Amino acid sequence: MGNGYSMSTSASVLLPTMQAINGVFGRLDQVAPAAVSADMGTLASFWNEVVAAFQHGSTVGQVKAYLHAHPPAQTAAIGPAVHHRLHYLSTTCHINVSS
């Protein structure tokens, strides 16, 4: 969360972007192919909890600290879910996502 924002940046500055991403993940969760439906559900649920954490801090740093102290329930599953989804996009859809 700190990329491009200082830890003292008001959380309200970042919240609209986080909510927009949350909306996209929610819509993708509804239309995900069966092969990655569970993975998309994990991602959507994880991100929903990240966005909900914004009610627990007035700055980006406070929200980040809250998330470290109270990680989303899907924290352990998010890495494998994202990896599986990227593999699916690459092998089935021939879409390569790079950072």
57-72: per-residue pLDDT in tens?
999 999 999 999 999 9
Structure confidence at residue 87 as a pLDDT band (50, 70, 90): very high
Model pTM? 0.83
Q: How far apart are CA 68 and CA 90, in angstroms?
A: 31
Span 23-69, pLDDT tens digits: 999 999 999 999 999 999 999 999 999 999 999 999 999 999 999 99
Question: Which pLDDT score, from 0 to 100, does residue 5 have?
Answer: 77
Structure confidence at residue 99 as a pLDDT band (50, 70, 90): low
**SS3 assignment, position 55:** helix
| Torsion, CA 98, CA 80, CA 37, CA 55, rounded to 10 | -90
Which residues contact residue 88 at a Cβ distance below 8 angstroms, ignoring those fewer than 6 apart? Answer: 33, 35, 36, 39
